[in-house]
Amino acid sequence: MALKSTIYKAQLSVADMDRGVYADHALTLALHPSETEERLMVRLLAFALNAPKDNARGDLVFARGLSDTDEPDLWQHDLSGVLVHWIEVGQPDERRMQRAASRAEQATFVSYAASTPVWWAGVKNKLNRTERLAVWQLPADQSQALAALAQRSMQLQFSVQDGTVWCSAGDATLELRLEPLLTPR
């Protein structure tokens, strides 16, 4: 018997002063049986940091990710079906990252594990000719603190200013600072 996903609902308010994006989102996420709450919350963070200003080029939506190897965690397609943005969390191999960058106008990857430096050392030299690719590291202690905010029904506020992300849930507030490992050319 296959295990079922656990459903999480999030009311997400985004105030990204760096990009001029201000919006509220009612999101439903499925926590895959093999997924941790830490990964789920990093997916929410990735949504907040990449949500478009408007839907002129389509909406950013959660894809099947872990359930389908041909899909990322999040993606954005324009109205004609062109893949605008491919977003994944974790530590994929360089072939997957190159394929994502070749398929989408922009590909973004967010690594959050303590093993990020080891993984990055193994893939970074193989990505030096890859355009349209951004790779970010969320320090492991910050991703674990973010995971502590996970609830089946949650209200989160993400505020971004000068590269610092403030995440608030009830009385708890976290300061998150993603470090760029690779920026698009």
Asked if the model's pLDDT at residue 66 lies above 70, the reply is no
Asked if the model's pLDDT at residue 75 lies above 90, the reply is yes
- Residue-wise pLDDT for 132-161, tens only, equals 999 999 999 999 999 999 999 999 999 999
Burial bucket for residue 128 (CB in 10 Å: 0-12, 13-18, 19+): exposed
Distance CA 56, CA 20 (A): 15
- CA 13, 17, 18, 22 dihedral sign is positive
Give the three-state DSSP class for 94. Answer: helix
- Residue-wise pLDDT for 85-98, tens only, equals 999 999 999 999 99
Query: What does pTM read for this prediction?
Result: 0.94
Q: What is the CATH number of domain 6-182?
A: 3.10.640.10
Bigger pLDDT: 29 or 65? 29
Q: What are phi and psi of 28, to 5 degrees?
A: -120, 125
- Residue-wise pLDDT for 116-127, tens only, equals 999 999 999 999
